[in-house]
Amino acid sequence: MQFRRIVTGVDADGKAVVASDDQVDAVTVDLVPGGGFWRMWGTDAPVAVPNAGELQAPHAYFPREGGYRFSYFQIGPASERQLPEDVDLGPAMAQFEERLPGMPATLDLSNPGMHTTQTVDFVVVLSGEIWLELDDGAETHLTAGDCVIQNGTAHAWRNHGSEPAVMAVALIGAPAA
């Protein structure tokens, strides 16, 4: 699946233009079967507007303080998320880091999927159903249209349903409390 990304900007005369109109492919990793991450836009520096609408250089998945990201992500149902028995964790973790820089470092390896980031996350469920799990094991069931504001706490996304769940997320880098 692809998501269309249309970016506006200004030309040399200061006139509003469509700076780009393209399709964004999912980033996939072997350690997240049935998952996908569409990295739509982001930066690690404050942005002045209007601007030319140029895509910033590649960056870590999660923003630094003052930065932001906008993306979509998909979590497959449990029936799709089984790792092959012969998976070699060393190369699989290297692939994870290469394709989604910085994400593996946020993971709690004793509880797969649980992670903590130094971000405020605005998450909207677009399709499917998903469960937000917190580090005490409590789960909250979400369906299309529900939103979560995640304030830098440990959490995991669990799909106990039978269809993939797709979410849109805006991540804002925040200072430590």
Smallest Cα–Cα separation from 78: which of 33, 20, 19? 33
**pLDDT tens digits along 120-176:** 999 999 999 999 999 999 999 999 999 999 999 999 999 999 999 999 999 999 998
CATH of the domain at 31: 2.60.120.10
pTM over 0.85: yes
| Distance in angstroms (rounded) separating the CA atoms of residues 162 and 156 | 18
| Residue 143, number of CB atoms within 10 A of its CB | 12
Q: Residues 58, 62, 66, 68: what is their CA dihedral angle, to the nearest 10 degrees?
A: 70
- Taking only the tens place, the pLDDT of each residue in 72-124 is 999 999 888 777 777 888 899 999 999 999 999 999 989 989 999 999 999 99
Domain that holds residue 11: 2-173
Count of domains in the chain? 1
